[in-house]
Structure 1
Amino acid sequence: MRQKAKVENYDAPAGGWSSLKAVASILTQEEVAILGSEILLKQNKPDGFMCVSCSWAKPAKPRPFEFCENGAKATAWEITRKTVTPEFFAQHTLAELRTWSDHQLEEQGRLTTPMRYDRASDKYLPVDWEEAFAAIGAELNRLDPRSVVMYTSGRASLETSYMYQLFGRMYGTNNFPDSSNMCHETTSVALPEVIGVPVGTVLLEDFETTGCIFFFGHNTTTNAPRMLHPLQEAAQRGVPIISFNPLRERGLERFVNPQNPVQMSAGGTRISSQYYQVRVGGDAAAIVGICKWVIEADDLVRKNEAARVVDVEFIQQHTAGFEEFAAFCRTQDWDEIERASGLSRGALREAANTYMEAKAVIANYGMGITQHKHGVETNKMIVNLLLLRGNIGKPGAGILPIRGHSNVQGQRTVGISEKTKLVPLDKLAELYGFEPPRWEGLSTVDACQGILKGDVRGFVGLGGNFLRAVPERSLMESAWSGLRLSVQIATKLNRTHLVPGEVTYLLPCLGRIEIDRQASGAQAVSMEDSTTCIHGSRGQRKPVADHLLSEPAIVAALAKATLKPNPKIDWDAWVADYSRVRDAIERTYPDQFKDFNARMFEPGGFARPLAARERNWKTPNGKANFTVPNSAFAPPRETDGVYELMTLRADGQFNTTIYAEGDRFRGIEGGRYVVFMNPADMEGDGLKAGDTVTLVTEAGDGVERSLSELQIVPYGIPRRSIAAYYPECNVLIPLWHYAEGSKVPAAKSIPVRLFKDILPEIVEAGEAPISAS
């Protein structure tokens, strides 16, 4: 039984006093020194460390406190004084730990000792590092490399990621799924087809000259709070900010900069000048409506021989497909656009007029776009909107996918990819004298399918909480025990560690904020932010335990234990001096990492060359391409009894890490098992606030997927749309329910039915056993 969450109205803006209070609370909770500690003063500074949470850009001229509330939480979470020692594991079986909540598990503190799972006692036992490496290497050499998955979270540095993919390919696998597969792989599929690059085109300085900013499907407050600084500055200059999101998110409404005493007393800045609550899955229809207004306005002025609305010169010189796209927009029915988007034509005309008045426009988007069945097409629709007025490849304009974890984009840059066409295999063969495998590897969804079928026999996880992050949790957790080998490299205990394979190792590593001292001295590492800028990062804190190894050291040790010696690679030399790894990265990617070691601590980072910024389109036809969507409109949900569920993250959360059991901005305290619902829908279904319901996925494949005891919370969300928290709701996502073309789990558009629970009084908080739905 779960304790009911306390629900209160929360009217304060993002930032401000509440943010300072939350930072102070997490520092106290994790037994970290006061707010003005030397650690936080070094966060996101040129001579300090890159934040371990989001991947938002670091400015060349940082503020005195260049961190946000969530960044401070992430730092406190990593440098906590709390530790999980062998004594902890001696006191708890895995069966017992599986009854703990995600928050309770990570709250225990940092892992300190390598451990192996003992099935007889159902406990982790300490093991010597060398013994663990030798045993893992032996197991890997008994397995077919095709059956081994090497997963990567977004935390690992460029150096670690390069070493990891090289180790895996020398071993013989291309199975490199990563957290991109669960969030922005949609971007990596859509953008190359239409503008020739897999990443955004916006730099931080573009926010200083832009004339209009669009947001689609992104909660900036939770997922990239430092982005609120350039947004606030733009809003104060009078730049219109137009937001499309099913829920009204506080950071896109009002923001108070905690570093500004005047704002702290004055109430802050309104961020969005126009805010449209699009229905779940309705973004593509809304963009079609805006484009329709733009094209029809252009048709009118062309008829009257007035100045054109679209950028004719840009379209003729740089694009293909405009006439087909324009014809499609002209024929779309306004009633259908309004139904599918949940917005009136007047609202869309207002947004279109603002767009047409701006000389330079930035379009930002998040997982509300990418984690949708039609996410690839919607992503391309955003590009269509920008291309109409030449808003790619000029100052103050462009497209910006707002990535999640701090180096998730950079890992792909240096070879973490299951798609062999994206990896310079010939160059790796030349540099290291081996023949890399050429077959296509497994994505995250493919890996899950392989685990369910029994085809995947080994799993090495470089960070992350894989089982908690993926769809189809009930089936996945049951199938995981069929793995022959499970190796998890981690800083903290999470639920994936509690589901063992036949042979299971838990390897603790240094965190990014800890001093990484090797043979040549203290080491630095590097990351890539959402704007393709590369930054150096130096550890600042004494390691929490004496015998922790760095991620590069662990990867190198696994490689040495598994591979035959290769005269062209000296793993020990790389670990002794990470600059040698960066030299290797530069040799492999000379056009992207020229003078890597010399430039990695440039203020603001150094931007990787990006053809689309120069209006050089690396597409097959050499043009930026307008595309006509096949499925722009969400299905009707007014009368069929099915709701569209979107999963979301709370204020006290980063990815699967839960800092606190609540969500300040949505007024939730003391629980996460809630479902946000439109009051009119509640009335129609005979529900009232506080009732508990069961959500059942509408799948039709014979697999029952349900989640019970979810507390109803009335909320301002469009009709027939509901929202609940990730990762708890992952149990409701079928593995086959993903974005067409990218296989990103469609966590923002899950068709579900809702049933009122008939339960005894709920009195006690807790997490259901891991084997339960």
Structure 2
Amino acid sequence: MSEELKIERATMPAGGWGSVSEVANILLDQHVPLKDARLLAHQNKPDGFACVGCAWAKPAHPHPFEFCESGAKATAWETTSKAIGADFFARHTVTALESWSDHALEDQGRLTVPLRWDAATDQYVEVSWDTAFAEIGAALRDCRRDGTVFYSSGRASLETSYLYQLLARMYGNNNLPDSSNMCHESTSVGLQKTIGVPVGTVTLDDFERTDCIFFFGQNVGVNSPRMLHQLQAARRRGVPIITFNPLRERGLVSFTNPQSPLEMLTRAETAISTQYHQLKAGGDTAALMGLCKAILAADDSARADGRPRVLDTAFLAEHTDGFGELEAAVRACPWADIERESGLTQAALEGAAAIYCRARAVMAVYGMGITQHRNGVQNVAMIVNLLLLRGNIGKPGAGVCPVRGHSNVQGQRTVGITEKPELAPLDRLKELYGFEPPREKGMNTVEACEGILAGRVQAFIGLGGNFVRAVPETALMEAAWRELPLTVQISTKLNRSHVIHGKASYVLPCLGRTEIDRQRGMPQAVTIEDSTACMHGSRGMAEPVAATLRSEPAIVAGIARATLPPNRLVDWDGWAADYASIRAAIAATWPDIFHGFEARMWQPGGFRRALPAAQRVWQTESGKAGFTVPEGLPGAPDMPADPGALTLFTIRSDGQFNTTIYSNDDRFRGVSGSRMVLFMAHADMARLALVAGDVVTLRAATQDDTERSVAGLAVVPYDIPVGCVAGYFPECNPLVPLWHHAKDSKVPAVKSVAVLVERSGL
């Protein structure tokens, strides 16, 4: 076991003094000047800047401090005084940097100058912006049009995203994978199919009107802590919160509000979950089948006794189809199968269903614990099934609430970042800009990885993110990545995707969202879409860390000018100089969503795009909301049935955001000093003759020709379902086969991977 690793039992609530301490520590650690620390008072405010972290909704009437611990860390990480230029890279070869941890790489600070990898010295060297653009443009012109990938993380604004998708399509392809492909594409597919919209139907107002909340596979205390304000208010009204999650996450157990002086002084806690069901990893469909089965039984009992029906029969008749098929499947599904696959008892599921049946308006909140499974799309459809039984979509206080990850990942899709040509306004783009957009389907994330492994991809442009670290199949991907003819990364900080690079590699440093973006002397603003489909303006307020940085719109425009032939209808220079002109172009492309864009972007609470399902208008093939019959209950049907295998699911700590690692500590799970740990149930440890601190190797229990393993993991006893183990993302990514992804959506199924545990040294 690592000498730095320390394990203790964590009992603290989310929020509270622990959160305050964490915020203070990162501000000090990142040497954030006092004037920039004051920026936090403007975070997520109508006249301030949108958090660069999660996508949770921005209220019209914000709290005095409308930021959470995670958001404060994201802001501190971006406004750090630490910075690196050409001199840093003169001291370090890229090969040497490969041995650095994710935390160490990003902790060096902000990138400040454009860089090009020099093969002779194995170092990144400074290059002028004009030279970088010219060389990148020349290389892209020599590539096959279908062999270039334009990837984007969820950080980029609506304005940048619009320019980026136009660049890709004018270049000649729809290869526009984004971080949504790795998390909520199962949502986009599942909701579109069942209710006719690809996003959730819930707004913040619904939290004030609901009388029951079901939570599935989402860690609110780490991934969207500001939601705890809505959950605390609901609990104070007596609203039950029913949680289904393999781990007892602190944010779903209890919360001390840091903005309440009384709670901070008295250390008072609000219990969040009124029922907490620790289902097996991958047991979501089975648990939802159990809930539906119990609801049908309750309806049968009501009918027999002459009481009002439990099912909303009027809603079912008018607004849905497929109920009969689902009903038959649910009634035929044995409780024994449900209990085996979910890891929950019939009594527990009937107890949760009883609460659901008594509620007038139910919301279902879920995260990547639902979507990142082989049956991720099916899981989403099963949540819709549950809600439809009692008409819990399209009325106040009810609906489906997928919690998106990065701050504008949903908005990027709204303005055209999609590999699916049927979802992009190609005819309108043709009309506006006088070119023939490509009509062939582009690559999603998994397909881009497949293309890289097969040698079909010649160039990779990354608009933010840390692609090579975030994707599965780490060993094969890193080897293939080095064979790419061209890699370009638009980034704020150094990461693994820079030190594992293509044969020609460029790193282009950009302004962060918190920084003042001046173009021709005029400060610019950008816009983002939050997790509830509301659009918000955002103004950077910190002085840029270096005068040499360029904005994301300016960088995208620079690449476009150097790559594409001139087009009198496309004013890249004008767009890069005045973002209001980009918003005008967005409004001209989607007038039904973005009419009056410039005025409405500063509306408190944002302006919401129309979501027909929220008004019970179903834009599906049948014109109704559709029930779906699941194909089966197992969560990972493509994994081999090895009797000695355990089911691994990956998790994130309170010391990280996506692939950004702020620290090696996870106070909510009592781990500090290392992320190389494996959380195990006591019973599984006893079966394998392991004790706390033993160092083990995980091997993927797959039957193909690829060896997948992660060594050096210290065993941590934990309250986790027997037969399941948990480890951190992205450290466990090498165990995930690229072919192990959600059916229909191709989201990597990192929440259910069969693994074998071996004691190190044996």
Residue 606 of structure 2 aligns with an amino acid whose one-letter code is: G
Equivalenced residues, count: 759
Once the two structures are TM-superposed, the CA of residue 291 in structure 1 deviates from its matched residue by 0.5
Once the two structures are TM-superposed, the CA of residue 516 in structure 1 deviates from its matched residue by 0.3
1:674–1:711 CA contact under 8 A, matched in 2: yes
- What SS does the corresponding residue of 1:324 show, helix, strand or coil? helix
User: Within the alignment, does 1:739 sit opposite 2:742 as a pair?
Assistant: yes
1:319–1:623 CA contact under 8 A, matched in 2: yes
Partner of 1:766: none
Residue 180 of structure 2 aligns with an amino acid whose one-letter code is: S
1:161-180 superposed matches below 5 A: 161-180=161-180
- Post-superposition CA distance 1:147-175 (Å, at most 9, x none): 00000000000000000000110111210
Partner of 2:513: 512
Q: In 2, distance between residues paired with 1:36 and 1:436?
A: 43
Q: Which runs of 5+ in 1 are unaligned?
A: 760-773
1:627-642 superposed matches below 5 A: 627-634=628-635, 640-642=643-645
Partner of 1:768: none
Q: In 1, distance between residues paired with 2:390 and 2:122?
A: 62
Partner of 1:764: none
User: Within the alignment, does 1:429 sit opposite 2:426 as a pair?
Assistant: no
Q: 1:756 to 1:266 in 2, by over 3 A?
A: same
Q: In 2, distance between residues paired with 1:749 and 1:639?
A: 14
- What SS does the corresponding residue of 1:591 show, helix, strand or coil? helix
- What SS does the corresponding residue of 1:547 show, helix, strand or coil? coil
Residue 141 of structure 1 aligns with an amino acid whose one-letter code is: R
Partner of 1:101: 101
Q: In 1, distance between residues paired with 2:174 and 2:205?
A: 37
2:338–2:633 CA contact under 8 A, matched in 1: no
Q: 1:634 to 1:187 in 2, by over 3 A?
A: closer
- What SS does the corresponding residue of 2:745 show, helix, strand or coil? coil
- Post-superposition CA distance 1:113-144 (Å, at most 9, x none): 00000011100000000000000000000011
Once the two structures are TM-superposed, the CA of residue 481 in structure 1 deviates from its matched residue by 1.4
Residue 100 of structure 1 aligns with an amino acid whose one-letter code is: W
Greater CA deviation, 259-268 or 587-596? Answer: 259-268
Partner of 1:184: 184
User: Within the alignment, does 1:680 sit opposite 2:683 as a pair?
Assistant: yes
Q: Which runs of 5+ in 2 are unaligned?
A: none
Partner of 1:598: 599
Partner of 1:748: 751
Q: In 1, distance between residues paired with 2:534 and 2:635?
A: 36
Residue 398 of structure 1 aligns with an amino acid whose one-letter code is: G
Q: Percent identity?
A: 59
1:196–1:617 CA contact under 8 A, matched in 2: yes
1:280–1:646 CA contact under 8 A, matched in 2: yes
Q: Normalising by structure 1, report the TM-score.
A: 0.97
Partner of 1:347: 348
Residue 6 of structure 2 aligns with an amino acid whose one-letter code is: K
Picking from 677, 693, 698, the partner of 2:696 is 693
Q: In 2, distance between residues paired with 1:414 and 1:296?
A: 45
Q: In 2, distance between residues paired with 1:152 and 1:663?
A: 28
Q: In 2, distance between residues paired with 1:230 and 1:690?
A: 39
Q: In 1, distance between residues paired with 2:314 and 2:292?
A: 18
Once the two structures are TM-superposed, the CA of residue 520 in structure 1 deviates from its matched residue by 6.3
Q: Normalising by structure 2, report the TM-score.
A: 0.98
1:3–1:671 CA contact under 8 A, matched in 2: no
Partner of 2:16: 16
1:37-76 superposed matches below 5 A: 37-76=37-76
Partner of 2:313: 312
Partner of 2:157: 157
Residue 307 of structure 2 aligns with an amino acid whose one-letter code is: A
Q: In 1, distance between residues paired with 2:513 and 2:36?
A: 20
User: Within the alignment, does 1:582 sit opposite 2:583 as a pair?
Assistant: yes
User: Within the alignment, does 1:669 sit opposite 2:703 as a pair?
Assistant: no
- Post-superposition CA distance 1:700-757 (Å, at most 9, x none): 0110000111100000000100000000100000000001111000000011111111
Partner of 1:712: 715
User: Within the alignment, does 1:406 sit opposite 2:401 as a pair?
Assistant: no
Partner of 2:657: 654
1:651–1:664 CA contact under 8 A, matched in 2: yes
Q: In 1, distance between residues paired with 2:183 and 2:131?
A: 36
User: Within the alignment, does 1:79 sit opposite 2:112 as a pair?
Assistant: no
Once the two structures are TM-superposed, the CA of residue 37 in structure 1 deviates from its matched residue by 3.6
Q: In 1, distance between residues paired with 2:398 and 2:597?
A: 28
Partner of 2:251: 251
1:377–1:632 CA contact under 8 A, matched in 2: no
Partner of 1:361: 362
Partner of 2:493: 492
Partner of 2:215: 215
Partner of 1:612: 613
- Post-superposition CA distance 1:569-625 (Å, at most 9, x none): 111111111011011101111111111111001001111111001100000110000
Residue 251 of structure 1 aligns with an amino acid whose one-letter code is: G
Q: 1:249 to 1:346 in 2, by over 3 A?
A: same
Partner of 2:30: 30
Once the two structures are TM-superposed, the CA of residue 145 in structure 1 deviates from its matched residue by 1.2
1:340–1:635 CA contact under 8 A, matched in 2: no
- What SS does the corresponding residue of 1:364 show, helix, strand or coil? strand
1:383-422 superposed matches below 5 A: 383-422=384-423
Q: In 2, distance between residues paired with 1:179 and 1:113?
A: 26
1:675–1:723 CA contact under 8 A, matched in 2: yes
1:638–1:720 CA contact under 8 A, matched in 2: no
Q: In 2, distance between residues paired with 1:622 and 1:491?
A: 45
Q: In 1, distance between residues paired with 2:146 and 2:36?
A: 50
2:374–2:636 CA contact under 8 A, matched in 1: no
- Post-superposition CA distance 1:192-233 (Å, at most 9, x none): 110000000000110000010011000111110101110010
User: Within the alignment, does 1:726 sit opposite 2:745 as a pair?
Assistant: no
Residue 521 of structure 1 aligns with an amino acid whose one-letter code is: M
Partner of 1:271: 272
Q: In 1, distance between residues paired with 2:482 and 2:413?
A: 29
Residue 586 of structure 1 aligns with an amino acid whose one-letter code is: A
Partner of 1:300: 301
1:24–1:34 CA contact under 8 A, matched in 2: no
1:169–1:437 CA contact under 8 A, matched in 2: yes
Once the two structures are TM-superposed, the CA of residue 304 in structure 1 deviates from its matched residue by 3.4
- Post-superposition CA distance 1:466-511 (Å, at most 9, x none): 0000000100000111111100000000011001211110000000
Residue 182 of structure 1 aligns with an amino acid whose one-letter code is: M
1:520–1:577 CA contact under 8 A, matched in 2: no
Partner of 1:771: none
Q: 1:634 to 1:558 in 2, by over 3 A?
A: closer
Q: In 1, distance between residues paired with 2:89 and 2:98?
A: 13
1:86–1:113 CA contact under 8 A, matched in 2: yes
1:27–1:35 CA contact under 8 A, matched in 2: no
Q: 1:249 to 1:34 in 2, by over 3 A?
A: farther
Q: In 2, distance between residues paired with 1:268 and 1:683?
A: 35
Partner of 1:5: 5
1:216–1:243 CA contact under 8 A, matched in 2: yes
- What SS does the corresponding residue of 2:242 show, helix, strand or coil? strand
Q: In 1, distance between residues paired with 2:641 and 2:433?
A: 60
2:647–2:754 CA contact under 8 A, matched in 1: yes
Q: In 2, distance between residues paired with 1:430 and 1:376?
A: 35
Q: In 2, distance between residues paired with 1:635 and 1:423?
A: 32
Once the two structures are TM-superposed, the CA of residue 464 in structure 1 deviates from its matched residue by 0.3
Once the two structures are TM-superposed, the CA of residue 442 in structure 1 deviates from its matched residue by 0.3
Once the two structures are TM-superposed, the CA of residue 303 in structure 1 deviates from its matched residue by 3.1
Greater CA deviation, 243-252 or 516-525? Answer: 516-525
Residue 713 of structure 1 aligns with an amino acid whose one-letter code is: V
- What SS does the corresponding residue of 1:676 show, helix, strand or coil? strand
Q: In 1, distance between residues paired with 2:254 and 2:500?
A: 42
1:24–1:35 CA contact under 8 A, matched in 2: no
2:697–2:759 CA contact under 8 A, matched in 1: yes
- What SS does the corresponding residue of 1:728 show, helix, strand or coil? coil
Partner of 2:552: 551
Partner of 1:117: 117
